[in-house]
Amino acid sequence: MGFLDVTFLVGAVAGPVVALTCCAIVLTTTRRRGVVVPVVVLTASVAVAFAVFWFFWGEGFEAADAVAEVPHGVRVAQDVSSVVGAAATLVLVMMTAAVLVRSRRG
């Protein structure tokens, strides 16, 4: 399994569910603006990356369905959006873990 396969699984498949779960955990645990705003922004970026990935997947599917070669730009856009979604998801998980550790300490 390659790097892009992992980013696809994390960013385009599991990312939205993980992001919403992390956002809910953070919003119920803390109300600090310095934590809530980045979490909401990261959740939105996961959602946008998810939408962009599946939009370009549809474009590639249409090209393949028409027995044409999938354009290189479509593949690049899919790869970039899955990497962005995976990175945002991982940062969101780390922030959620930090919020949970901090809330248990104090």
The predicted-structure confidence for 36-94, as pLDDT tens digits, reads as follows: 999 999 999 999 999 999 999 999 999 999 999 999 999 999 999 999 999 999 999 99
Tokens of residue 45, six digits:
């970026």
- Please give the Cα distance from 26 to 95 (Å, whole number): 9
Instruction: Indicate the pLDDT class of residue 1, thresholds 50, 70 and 90.
Output: confident
Q: Tell me, what DSSP letter sits at residue 12?
A: I
Contact assessment for residue 11 and residue 49, using Cβ atoms and an 8 Å cutoff? yes
The pLDDT, as a whole number, for residue 86 is 96
- Please give the Cα distance from 39 to 86 (Å, whole number): 15
User: Where do the domains of the chain lie?
Assistant: 3-105
Contact assessment for residue 22 and residue 93, using Cβ atoms and an 8 Å cutoff? yes
Q: What are phi and psi of 72, to 5 degrees?
A: -60, -40
- Please give the Cα distance from 22 to 96 (Å, whole number): 6
pTM as predicted: 0.90
State mean pLDDT over 15-33: 93
